[in-house]
Amino acid sequence: SQQGEEDPQALSIQEGENATMNCSYKTSINNLQWYRQNSGRGLVHLILIRSNEREKHSGRLRVTLDTSKKSSSLLITASRAADTASYFCATDAKDYKLSFGAGTTVTVRA
Amino acid sequence: DAGITQSPRHKVTETGTPVTLRCHQTENHRYMYWYRQDPGHGLRLIHYSYGVKDTDKGEVSDGYSVSRSKTEDFLLTLESATSSQTSVYFCAISESRGGAYNEQFFGPGTRLTVL
């Protein structure tokens, strides 16, 4: 069963706008990760946030984590056409295992 | 795709035939994983390995078996393929405990169609 659930399922924005997507999960975690998947490719790790962290930045990415609400958000600022992809959150459920959500598909319009 | 290759990249087979997918890594990472990706389900873990000859089941392991005789190779076998196993299969590796302290690196995927 999926631990993480992304919202929205799909998002369409204009180039230069910000994109925000959310992830909710059910059980306590050690960390939460975000991955990107371009069409027809494997997943690429974007950022990892540990349960004792509240916010983390990486370039144009900003991730927040609220363990009290069991939720995380991924913000992509100043979006570009190259950001068009599916984004997945993943939580560590049990030893050695990640649990992935179904993903948010982001389309950036020129 | 970070020193991970999968073969074949595409395969069409018939129901009831055995199929083996191969994952090969050049990173010398201890942990290896097989996932399947289906629309609306995200990635689901099939099997994983925490060392040579050490494997364990994931959440959707029925109908699949794995083997790891060398650090660099992790094989996924469908003993008798069924149409429900039509999917895209991804191999992943991690240096440390998967997800606990380190990210996973993914291969390019194998698209399998079972007719």
**In the predicted structure, residue A30 carries a pLDDT above the cut 90:** no
- The residue behind tokens 């089941």 is B57
| Closest chain B CA to residue A99 | B44
pLDDT at A88: 95
pLDDT for A97: 80
Interface probe for A, chosen from B9, B43, B94, B102 (most Cβ of A below 10 Å), is: B43
Per-residue pLDDT of chain B (115 residues; tens, 9 = 90+): 569 999 999 999 999 999 999 999 999 999 999 999 998 788 999 999 999 999 999 999 999 999 999 999 999 999 999 999 999 999 999 987 655 567 899 999 999 999 9
From CA B99, how far away is CA A91, in angstroms rounded? Answer: 7
Q: Do B99 and A102 touch (CB under 8 A)?
A: no
Q: Is B90 on the interface with A (CB under 8 A)?
A: yes
Residues A58-93 pLDDT 10s: 999 999 999 999 999 999 999 999 999 999 999 986
Q: Going edge to edge, which strands form the sheet with A55-58?
A: A5-7, A19-24, A71-76, A61-66, A55-58
